[in-house]
């Protein structure tokens, strides 16, 4: 039986190979991805973040933990996607806003969307409003999902919304925002249509916005 506390430890300590091996063992034992992600992997990232804040960990530790988490998540993503419905229920453009390189949460949200039957166009990290707007036009998207992990980059979400208005696209797409520093109040202040603080609740909110 896979010892999942070791998955927490492996991610916390940035031990990529160990994280992968334990995740593979857990998959073989049919342990739910949700359990692995929410009860062990995200908790490890939160602990690294807390240590960083207290100056007990530094950027290299963040990087190594991030790499270990991404490798484990890569193994889980096909399983998250498999559960998707056969027909597409909506198109989502998703990206991390300009100046921000954090993509683990955004990738998780994207996988959950796919797993729940949405078509997802992931435009990546450090994305400016022009790139979001081009993607919305090209794909005729229903939802724009913006992710930000830094207090310094979250204001750019408002820039994107303002630029959508200037481009005459604001009423064509629902804008959802999320990421650790983002709140419901902030979402309302900047004129977003929806906010969520987790990958699961993002799907519920998206369906609500589209009336599905
Ligand atoms: Co950075 N970092 N980081 N970092 N990093 C944080 C965010 C920080 C909180 C750490 C801390 O101080 N405690 C802090 C931000 C402080 C602040 O702004 N208030 C911070 C900092 C300061 C920095 C740098 C400035 C450090 C430096 O260089 N001095 C730098 C900035 C680089 C940049 O972006 N320009 C930096 C760099 C990095 C790494 C590159 C080393 C690495 C990222 C690797 C990667 O993403 N590929 C990294 C990491 C790993 C973190 C922490 C430790 C973990 C983030 C993470 O992946 N969490 C983070 C501490 C923390 O968050 N506690 C920290 C797991 C992930 C699953 O959760 O991303 O929150 P999260 O996503 C969740 C929800 O937020 C939500 O659903 C997801 C799943 O449940 N969600 C959405 C996210 N997007 C959504 C979109 C939606 C809906 C929901 O709708 C569209």
- Say if residue 123 is in the same domain as residue 59: no
- Say if residue 141 is in the same domain as residue 165: yes
Count how many Cα atoms sit within 13 Å of the Cα of residue 123 in the half-sphere of its side chain.
27
State residue 84's pLDDT score: 56
Residue nearest to atom 46 of ligand 1 (CA): 102
State residue 87's pLDDT score: 64
Share of the chain above pLDDT 90, in %: 85
Q: Which atom of ligand 1 is nearest to the CA of 70?
A: 47
- Say if residue 114 is in the same domain as residue 192: yes
Share of the chain above pLDDT 70, in %: 98
- Say if residue 13 is in the same domain as residue 36: yes
Name the pTM for this structure: 0.93
- Ligand 1 first shell, C-beta below 6 A: 42, 45-46, 48-49, 52-53, 59, 62-63, 65-66, 94, 99-106, 108-109, 145-147, 149-151, 176-181, 196-199, 202
For residue 86, is pLDDT > 60? no
Query: Which of 48, 82, 116 is the C-terminal boundary of a domain?
Result: 82
- Say if residue 22 is in the same domain as residue 117: no
Query: Which of 32, 65, 82 is the C-terminal boundary of a domain?
Result: 82
- Say if residue 74 is in the same domain as residue 100: no
Residues 136-158 pLDDT 10s: 999 999 999 999 999 999 999 99
For residue 103, is pLDDT > 70? yes
Q: Which atom of ligand 1 is nearest to the CA of 149?
A: 7
**Residue 80, Cβ neighbours under 10 Å: how many?**
21
- Say if residue 57 is in the same domain as residue 74: yes
CA 179 to centroid of ligand 1, rounded, Å:
8
State residue 58's pLDDT score: 94
Please give the average per-residue pLDDT across 34-54, as a whole number: 92
CATH code, domain with 169? 3.40.50.280
3-state SS assignment for residue 15: coil
HEC letters along 73-140: HHHHHHHHHHCCCCCCCCEEEEEEECCCCCCHHHHHHHHHHHHCCCEEEEEEEEECHHHHHHHHHHHC
- Average pLDDT value for the chain: 94
Q: Which domain holds residue 12?
A: 4-82
- Say if residue 67 is in the same domain as residue 102: no
In this structure, the strands spanning 119-127 and 174-178 are unpaired
- Say if residue 198 is in the same domain as residue 113: yes
- Say if residue 68 is in the same domain as residue 122: no
**Residue 120, Cβ neighbours under 10 Å: how many?**
21
Please give the average per-residue pLDDT across 177-203, as a whole number: 96
CA 209 to centroid of ligand 1, rounded, Å:
26
- Say if residue 153 is in the same domain as residue 189: yes
Number of domains in the chain: 2
CA–CA separation, 186 and 174 (whole Å):
16
Query: Which of 32, 51, 82 is the C-terminal boundary of a domain?
Result: 82
CA 35 to centroid of ligand 1, rounded, Å:
21
- Say if residue 187 is in the same domain as residue 113: yes
When pLDDT is cut at 50, 70 and 90, the band that residue 115 belongs to is confident
């Amino acid at each position: 039986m896979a010892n999942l506390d070791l998955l927490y430890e492996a991610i916390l300590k940035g031990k990529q190979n160990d994280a992968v091996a334990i995740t593979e063992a857990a998959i073989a034992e049919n342990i739910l991805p949700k359990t692995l992600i929410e009860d062990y992997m995200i908790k490890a990232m939160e602990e690294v973040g807390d240590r960083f804040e207290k100056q007990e960990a530094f950027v290299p530790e963040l990087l190594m933990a991030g790499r270990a988490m991404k490798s484990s998540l890569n193994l889980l993503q096909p399983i998250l996607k498999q559960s998707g419905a056969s027909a597409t229920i909506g198109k989502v453009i998703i990206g991390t806003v300009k100046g921000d390189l954090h993509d683990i949460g955004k990738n998780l949200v994207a996988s959950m969307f796919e797993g729940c039957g949405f078509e997802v166009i992931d435009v990546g990290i450090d994305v400016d409003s022009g790139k979001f707007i081009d993607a919305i036009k090209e794909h005729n998207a229903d939802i724009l999902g913006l992710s930000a992990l830094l207090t310094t980059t979250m204001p750019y979400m408002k820039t994107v919304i303002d630029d959508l208005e200037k481009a005459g696209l604001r009423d064509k797409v629902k804008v959802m925002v999320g990421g650790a520093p983002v709140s419901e109040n902030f979402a309302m202040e900047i004129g977003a249509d929806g906010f969520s603080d987790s990958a699961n609740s993002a799907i519920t909110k998206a369906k609500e916005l589209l009336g599905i």
